[in-house]
Chain A
Amino acid sequence: MDQAEKKRYEERYQAEKQRGEKFFPDIIYKDLVVSFALFLVLILLATFVGVSSEPPADPSDTSYIPRPEWYFLFLFELLKYFPGQLEWVGTTVVPVIAILALLLLPFYDRGPLRHWRKRPIAISVMSLAVAGIVALTIMASITTPPQEEFSVVASVTDEIVIGQDLYGLHCVECHGSEGEGGEIVSVEGLEGVVVDPLNAPDFMYTRTDDTIFNVIDYGQQDLGMQPFGKAYGGELQRSDIGAIVTFMRYTWDDRVEIPQEAAAAGAVPTLGPDDIPSYSLHVEPIIRRTCVSCHRPNRENNEYLMQTYDEVMNSGINAPNVIPGDLNSNVIRMILREEIEAGGPMPPTRALKAEWVEIWIRWVEGGAPEFPLESTDTPEPTPAP
Chain B
Amino acid sequence: MAAKWISWLDERLGLTTIYRTILDRKVPKVNWFFTLGSATLFLGVLQGLTGIFLTVYYVPHPEQAYDSINYIMTEVSFGWLIRGIHHWGASLLVITVFLHMLRTFFYGAYKYPREITWVTGVFLLLLTLGMGFTGYLLPWNQRAFWATTVATSITETVPFIGPFINTALRGGTELSTLTLVRFFSAHIWILPALVVAIVGIHLYLVVRIGISHVPAKDE
Q: Which residues of A contact B (CB under 8 A)?
A: 1, 6, 9, 12-13, 16-24, 27-28, 30-31, 33-35, 38-39, 41-43, 45-47, 49-51, 53-59, 61, 64-72, 76, 79, 87-88, 91-92, 99, 102-103, 105-107, 109-119, 122-123, 126, 130, 147
Contacts and interface: CB of A to CB of B under 8 A. Distances in A.
15 contacts: A17-B27, A21-B26, A23-B24, A24-B23, A31-B42, A42-B89, A69-B136, A79-B154, A91-B154, A91-B158, A103-B119, A105-B110, A105-B118, A106-B112, A116-B107
A20 B26 contact: yes
B94 A23 contact: no
B216 interface: yes
The secondary structure that dominates the B interface is helix
Contacts of A46: 80-81, 83-85, 87-88
A384 B163 CA distance: 54
B159 A92 contact: yes
Contacts of B109: 114
B62 A57 contact: yes
Contacts of B11: none
Given A23-B22, A99-B126, A114-B111, A30 B147 contact: no
Contacts of A105: 105, 110, 118, 122
Interface in B121-154: 122-123, 125-126, 129, 132-133, 136, 139-147, 149-151, 154
Given A47-B81, A54-B139, A88 B159 contact: yes
Most buried by A among B91, B110, B123, B142: B142
A34 B35 contact: yes
Contacts of A27: 27, 30, 34, 211
A91 B28 CA distance: 42
Interface in B16-32: 22-30, 32
B178 interface: no
A130 B119 CA distance: 19
Given A45-B88, A70-B91, A34 B38 contact: yes
A12 to B, nearest CB: 7
B46 A39 contact: yes
Contacts, number: 228
Nearest to A89: B157
Contacts of A38: 39, 42-43, 92, 96
A54 B84 contact: no
Interface of B: 22-30, 32, 34-36, 38-39, 42-43, 46, 62, 66, 73, 80-81, 83-85, 87-92, 94, 96, 101-102, 105-115, 118-119, 122-123, 125-126, 129, 132-133, 136, 139-147, 149-151, 154-155, 157-159, 162, 174-175, 210-213, 215-219
Closest 3 CB pairs of A and B: A46-B84, A114-B108, A57-B145
A135 to B, nearest CB: 15
Contact of A23 (B23, B106, B108): B23
A220 B11 CA distance: 72
B42 A20 contact: no
Contacts of A79: 154
B175 A23 contact: no
A6 to B, nearest CB: 6
Most buried by A among B24, B39, B143: B143
A22 B28 CA distance: 8
Given A55-B141, A103-B122, A19 B81 contact: no
Given A31-B35, A92-B158, A114-B108, A55 B142 contact: yes
A54 B101 CA distance: 33
B46 A12 contact: no
Contact of B80 (A6, A13, A50, A147): A50
A88 B106 contact: no
Contacts of B133: 69, 72
A27 B139 CA distance: 38
Contacts of A9: 112
B72 to A, nearest CB: 10
Contact of B216 (A68, A72, A88, A115): A115
Given A31-B38, A34-B35, A130-B102, A57 B84 contact: no
Most buried by B among A30, A49, A56: A56
Contacts of A58: 142, 145
Most buried by B among A1, A45, A106, A130: A106
A360 B84 CA distance: 58
Contacts of B80: 46, 50-51
Contacts of B62: 57
Contact of B66 (A42, A57, A68): A57
Given A71-B91, A126-B105, A51 B84 contact: yes
Contacts of A109: 110-111
A58 to B, nearest CB: 6
A160 B78 CA distance: 36
